Amino acid sequence: MNRKTAFKIICAALPALIFAAIAGGLGIALHEERQKSNVLDAMQPNPDTNPSVTTAVTYNTVVVDRFYDRAGQKILLSDDVYGEIWIPVLEDVPLSTHPLELLKEKDGRMVSYDTYGSMNAMAGIDISVYNKVNDWNAVKADGIEFVMLRVGYRTYGGGEIRADQAFQQNYRAAKEAGLLVGAYFFSQAISIEEAIEEAVFTAKQLKGLTLDFPVAYDWEIIYHDEEGARTDHVPVDVLTDCCLAFCQNIEAFGYQPMIYQNKRTSLFKLDLPRLQDYPFWLAEYGDGPTYLYDYDMWQYSCTGTVNGIEGAVDLNLSFYDYSKEGDPAVVRPVTQSTGTTAIP
């Protein structure tokens, strides 16, 4: 090999040799840094690997403030997706005037007392053609004072209006037994026009009949229809407009209107401040409503039993006697000897 060829080989290999030298140096440096790091880690107190090494740590705690006053500030609900959720309390909607501690069960039914120990709510039922009443006198004798009868309904599939086939018969028999009678219409309206149509239909069914209690607008969400109901996507403003349209027309026809609704639909689907001119019939089953706002009637059970009626029936309390122009419904006066009685 001549010197010229050797020089070419050395020049070609020189970059590789330089890179190897640099990499080797870096490798040594990195190894040394890792060695230092391991030494430092070994010097740190770690109870898991070195129990004999301890460090005094002080944790200063603070008193936890309440984030908000639950009473009158937020409505707490349970949601399938989010768990506990909250919505703000409306300032222009009156709060409930029925303390839970004054709602009690007696002989299998709910009763309400005032602060003096007097019972201040009337016992009632609501029925339709699906309830078989064999003896209205037995119903009356079992402590029932009023009944809300279904006048008719709109189908949730095709949206057709139909009469309750048992209404006329139930009306006559209930009045003959001495019960106070009101009525309701089961609505599936999706527009103001349909709500007015329902009010006109109801008035025609009531023509010539005297009612003691209001005519309630019973608009309900349908949960059990797999194909969906026509009311599934009715907006809040439209539903509220439907309530107003029905109530205003029923009032124009000479009857006392009322709105029937359950707790969650009331909170989620009704613009409640717009509906404060009308009595409210709350549907919430249990020992006492958790609905925060005020109500005038309370449907507390759909599995009640009443003499003279086959099977289960809806049970209600009314805090007003609408046969006496909506006077408070005190059904047992306070004891006069002492002026007061103990709250039961």
Residue pLDDT, tens place only, 75-93: 888 889 999 998 989 989 9
pLDDT recorded at residue 223: 82
Residue 43, domain member (yes or no): no
Residue 63, domain member (yes or no): no
pLDDT recorded at residue 325: 78
Phi (first) and psi of residue 292, to 5 degrees: -75, -30
Residue 50, domain member (yes or no): no
CB 196 within 8 A of CB 227: no
**Residue spans of the chain under pLDDT 50:** 2-43, 70, 334-344
pLDDT recorded at residue 275: 97
Residue 81, domain member (yes or no): no
Domain count, the chain: 1
Q: Which residues contact 12 (CB under 8 A, 6 or more apart)?
A: none
Q: Which residues contact 200 (CB under 8 A, 6 or more apart)?
A: 249
Instruction: For residues 89 and 95, give the distance between their C-alpha atoms in angstroms, rounded to a whole number.
Output: 9
pLDDT recorded at residue 28: 41
> What does the pLDDT look like over 279-309, one tens digit per residue?
999 999 988 999 999 999 999 999 999 999 9
pLDDT recorded at residue 37: 45
Which residue range forms the structural domain that includes residue 244?
A: 98-328
Residue 39, domain member (yes or no): no
pLDDT recorded at residue 8: 43
CB 319 within 8 A of CB 330: no
pLDDT recorded at residue 62: 75
pLDDT recorded at residue 68: 52
pLDDT recorded at residue 76: 86
Instruction: For residues 32 and 225, give the distance between their C-alpha atoms in angstroms, rounded to a whole number.
Output: 73
pLDDT recorded at residue 55: 66
Residue 344, domain member (yes or no): no
pLDDT recorded at residue 341: 40
Residue 289, domain member (yes or no): yes
Residue 231, domain member (yes or no): yes
Of residues 117, 122, 160, 163, the one with CA closest to residue 140 = 122
CATH number for the domain including 192?
Answer: 3.20.20.80
